[in-house]
Homo-oligomer: A and B are copies of this chain.
Amino acid sequence: MLNYQAMDRTYQALGDRTRRALVERLTHGPATVSELAKGQPMSLPAVMLHLKVLEESGLVKSQKVGRVRTCEMVPQILSEAERWIAERRQMWERNLNALGKYLDQGEEG
């Protein structure tokens, strides 16, 4: 399980349209920084700053070979972010069901 700071960084990284677009592109497989920048309406340095935030969050990792840096997704971090939300939604549904049953019993009694 991710610690608090790691979860902060993950959701903060996802809280930006460009960074979500970069994650989405990387679901199709690894891509170089230039390839990632091509799809974005901003400068290469601006895209690199977004990639830095994604790397710091752990959602993306990269490797430089020669002059080319290639990025890829780290799906485990995405799964952790998904799990936290899913568990809270399920908790809420369970508590709602329990409340419903309680109210039903009240009507019957």
| 9-residue interface stretch from A6-14, A32-40, A41-49 | A6-14
Query: How far apart are the CA atoms of A99 and B29 in the complex, in Å?
Result: 9
Contacting residue for A29 out of B14, B16, B93, B95, CB 8 A? B95
Tally of this chain's copies? 2
Contacts of A17 in B (CB 8 A): 4, 7-8
A window 76-109: CB within 8 A of B: 78-79, 81-82, 84-86, 88-89, 91-93, 95, 99
Contacts of A85 in B (CB 8 A): 14, 78, 81-82, 85
> Is A69 among interface residues, defined by CB-CB distance under 8 A?
no
A window 12-31: CB within 8 A of B: 12, 14-17, 20, 23-24, 26-29
